[in-house]
Amino acid sequence: MPVTAQSTVMKDDADRASALLAASGQVPPERLRLLRSVFGRFCQILRDELFAVAKVNFETSLKRLEVESIEETGVQGADMLLALCSVKGHNTLSGAAFDFAAVNLIIEAFLGGGAKGRTLPGPRAFTPFDHLLAGHAAEIAGKALTEAFAPSHEGFSISVDEVRTAESVEELRLEERPVLAAHLELAAMGEAGRCVILLPPGIVSGMSACAVEAAPPASAEEGGDNPWRDVLDGRIRAAEVTCKAVMDGGFITLEDVSRLRPGQILELETREATPVALECNGERLFHCELGQAQGAFTLLLRAPAGDREDFLQSVLDNRKA
């Protein structure tokens, strides 16, 4: 009897290993590189989406992307909330799992608390409010995933079905097929939490080559697979810059400038149809048209500054000729 039990265990392990190997075969190295690029884009989009909702600067980073068994993903514990999702065309277990720290961070950011140095609450039982906020965060992540996959996977879409504590999800215990697991870190306001995106490995079958994959991989010296470059790119994209609208003015003497006082009205040599220039950090970007909407001034972008200036210069040159 002990020999039979041991044989059964060994057979189960062999079957599980065989399934993992088969699933890994669905994701060849070049596809895995493409997936890493897609998830790099996903992290950027997710950061922007979270800022749009919470007005808090999140750092979103991909820590690991692997084809793993459910046990290896580490999402089965009592400290994880799992938003069960449906991926179009696939019936394999999919979802977004958040640990206690990530849920607390999301709640703090979404509710606008944001006090730096706040003491993180210890592990506790998840409340219905936790489920609600985690579901909202999963919907944001799903939207970001759909946008990130769009260039390489036509028709990819993911939707949130329900949110449950991971230990109560029966599918986790029954799921023997490996999953594609993207392990992410969410950080903001001096705190950090873990998020794991679970997707069917079969999604790569619907992915086509795109510009990211078609480009030959650069060597380390040339900047290929450089995490510092990715971080710097994310920081640059999140940096705030000053934009201003500039209208044509007039001429005034330095003496008159020295006599300016608050409340004084200056006459400009402009009309209603006078174009307005949109400048960013001193660089002219667009020629615009000034308007109003709901009591606020608006700008309608008409043409890039360079294109219009080149056109006007060519007209002047032709007249001189």
| CATH number of the CATH domain containing 249 | 2.30.330.10
Q: Tell me how many helices (H) and strands (E) the chain has.
A: 10, 10
Number of domains the chain is built from: 2
DSSP H/E element including 12: helix 2-25
Longest Cα separation, the chain: 106
| CATH number of the CATH domain containing 74 | 3.40.1550.10
Residues 191 and 307 reside in one and the same domain: no
Going residue by residue through the chain, which has 321 residues, state the pLDDT in tens, using 9 for 90 and above: 343 444 444 445 545 444 444 444 456 677 778 888 889 889 999 999 988 888 888 999 999 998 888 889 999 888 899 999 999 888 888 999 999 999 988 888 887 654 444 455 566 788 888 899 899 999 999 999 999 888 888 888 899 999 999 888 887 877 778 889 999 999 988 889 999 999 988 888 777 765 444 344 444 444 445 555 665 666 666 667 778 888 766 777 888 888 888 888 877 766 666 778 888 877 778 888 888 777 777 888 887 876 545 545 544 554 455
Residues 174 and 32 reside in one and the same domain: yes
pLDDT score recorded for residue 214 = 38
pLDDT score recorded for residue 126 = 86
Last residue of one domain, picked from the residues 238, 273, 290: 238
- Give residue 86's domain range: 2-238
pLDDT score recorded for residue 112 = 66
| 8-state DSSP, 271 | -
Residues 227 and 247 reside in one and the same domain: no
Last residue of one domain, picked from the residues 238, 267, 283: 238
Distance CA 320, CA 250 (A): 26
- Dihedral angle at the C-alpha atoms of 233, 238, 242, 246, nearest 10 degrees? 80
Residues 85 and 135 reside in one and the same domain: yes
Residues 26 and 155 reside in one and the same domain: yes
- Dihedral angle at the C-alpha atoms of 74, 75, 77, 80, nearest 10 degrees? 140
pLDDT score recorded for residue 185 = 95
**Joined tokens for residue 315:** 């007209």
Q: What is the DSSP string of 182-193?
A: EEEEEEETTEEE
> What interhelical angle do 29-54 and 227-238 show, nearest 10?
30
Residues 260 and 195 reside in one and the same domain: no
